[in-house]
Structure 1
Amino acid sequence: MLPDPLFYAAAIPAVMLVGLTKGGMGGALALLGVPILTLVVDPVTAAAVMLPILIVMDGVALWSWRHHNHWPTMKIMLPGAMIGILLGWLTFSMVPYSLTKLLVGLATVSFAGKYFFDRLRPGPKEETPPAPQKPVKATIWSLVSGYTSFISHSGGPPFQIYTLPLKLDVKSYTGMSVRFFAIVNVVKLLPYYALGELRISNLIASASLLPVAIIATFLGAQVVKRMKMEVFYPFMYIMAFLAGLKLVVDGL
């Protein structure tokens, strides 16, 4: 049996926002998905319903960005993400998630805030060169990304803290981020199943929302493909800042 109409009144907007994000439009919209669903179901069920939808969105996004990637960044970040998922699984019932969200949110707000402060302050502006790859920093932030992705599908902000300063071209950045989270979400299936959250009722609810997910993801990808770098990166920093604020509010 499908959920009641009240569920869909919350779920359809939630899936549309997340789908636009999965297409490449930035992490802030994705953070709204689970909170909107929690208006009608409990938080754990909301996260469980979203996971299969996220994986289908990943498939659409992978097809849309199949010709673009940045393997050096992928290879340096995936090991930390896997450790973060494992830690999330092992500490699922023990960690105060509000504190985790607050700390990640504060770090993200500071990171994005500095970007805009440097550009809006009086005086001559110096263009910051692309940051070099730093394996230790990449491991730390990808671990946090994997962990927060596991507990609440909110791995975008810590991922952006490391990857945005690299200043990759728009298509390489988006293709790499799509692949990164596609792998993270597939790996999350096993621990979610082990925790008993992939119940038939949740899967039916997920399946009923897939058409909305596919359309929204495709639209998001088409918008990003038409963005220039001078538009894309300020937009992504705005999304990161808003995502950080959302995490701070959730944490508080």
Structure 2
Amino acid sequence: MTVAVAVLFGVAALLVGFAKTAIGGLATISVAVFASLMPARESTAAILLVLLVGDVMAVWHYRHDCDWSLLRRLIPAVLPGLLLGALFLAVVDDDLLRRVIGVLLVIMAALQLLLRWRPPAAGGLASGRTAAVGAGLAAGFVTMIANAAGSVMTLYLIARGVEKRRFLGTGAFFFFGVNVCKVPFSASLGLFHTATITLALVLAPLVLVGGWAGLHVARRISQARFEQAVLGASVLAALALVAR
């Protein structure tokens, strides 16, 4: 591994930690970095382990802020989405997977720009069961193939008018649960290797440093700035992956 590659992995790990405790969309930039530096299928397993480190930190710090009623609406549709994503991973090659990841993120970026331009009233259409089922399916599928469901959750929670700490707490528990569920799927596809696990262990301390920085930022940022930041970060992440 060259110094430049090591630095990129390190920055990606810092961004994962920061995203988990502050600005969620930034984690997708890390997904793009990993996909650029590794074979696409292996990168999904490597970044999954790194994300789980950040998930544990976020769940601990936001353990009192989760909106369980929102999660109960989303969870039933997530598992079918994970299954569809696992089936898709089993049949596609790396080149097609990269293109699909890029297209999905561009679509989500466009939706987020639309949401930023025409923000709905709190709740709105996103309060219905259909929206919850759609968000759950999309989050399960996208997170299985690209570890990039942060954009889906950002769309859903911002459209619901969720307050900053409730946003972070709900997202923390959602992604921890989803990522734990993804481990056996990834393992069954043979995506975990000694090198992948070693890389995640080496990067874990940097995830914690990024998470610590994110906690300090989250305490100081206003609700309006928070919404702008999470939407903007998701758009940037989508463009980064497509342009790589």
TM-score normalised by the chain length of structure 1: 0.85
Give the drift of 1:249: 4.5
Counterpart of 2:9 (choices 11, 20, 33) is 11
1:63 paired with 2:63, answer no
The Cα of 1:84 is off from its aligned counterpart by 1.0
Q: CA deviation at 1:246?
A: 4.0
Match of 2:30 among 30, 33, 43: 33
Higher helix proportion: 2
- Give the gaps of 5 or more residues in structure 2: none
Supply the AA of the counterpart residue of 2:51. Answer: L
CA contact (8 A) 1:76 1:139 kept: yes
Residues 1:128 and 2:121 aligned together? yes
Amino acid at match of 2:216: Q
Structure 2 CA distance for partners of 1:129 and 1:187, relative to 1, 3 Å? closer
Q: CA deviation at 1:101?
A: 3.2
Instruction: Find 1:77's aligned residue among 74, 77, 101.
Output: 74
* Matching residue of 2:109: 109
2:89 is paired with a residue of what secondary structure? coil
Count of paired positions = 240
SS at match of 2:108: helix
Match of 2:41 in 1: 44
Q: Which residue of 2 aligns with 1:167?
A: 161
Distance 2:235 2:5 in 1: 29
Q: Percent identical across equivalent pairs?
A: 22
C-alpha deviation, 1:21, in angstroms: 0.7
1:245 and 1:141 mapped to 2: Cα distance? 21
Q: Does 1:213 align with 2:211?
A: no
Greater Cα offset, 227-236 or 92-101? 92-101
Deviation at 1:247, TM superposition (A): 5.5
Determine helix, strand or coil for the equivalent of 1:198. Answer: coil
Higher mean Cα deviation, 106-115 or 156-165?
106-115
The residue matched to 2:22 in structure 1 has which SS? helix
Render the CA deviation track for 1:124-170: whole Å, top value 9, x for unaligned.
xxx83433521111111221111111112111112222221111111
Structure 1 contact 112–237 (Cα < 8 Å) conserved: yes
Query: What is the CA-CA distance between 1:98 and the residue it aligns to?
Result: 4.7
Per-residue displacement from partner, 1:27-82 (whole Å, max 9, x unpaired)?
A: 1x212213323444322222222222211111111111111011111111112121
Q: Structure 2 counterpart of 1:206, which letter?
A: A
CA, structure 1 residues 214+79, in 2 after alignment: closer, same or farther (shift >3 Å)?
Answer: same
Return the TM-score normalized by structure 2. 0.88
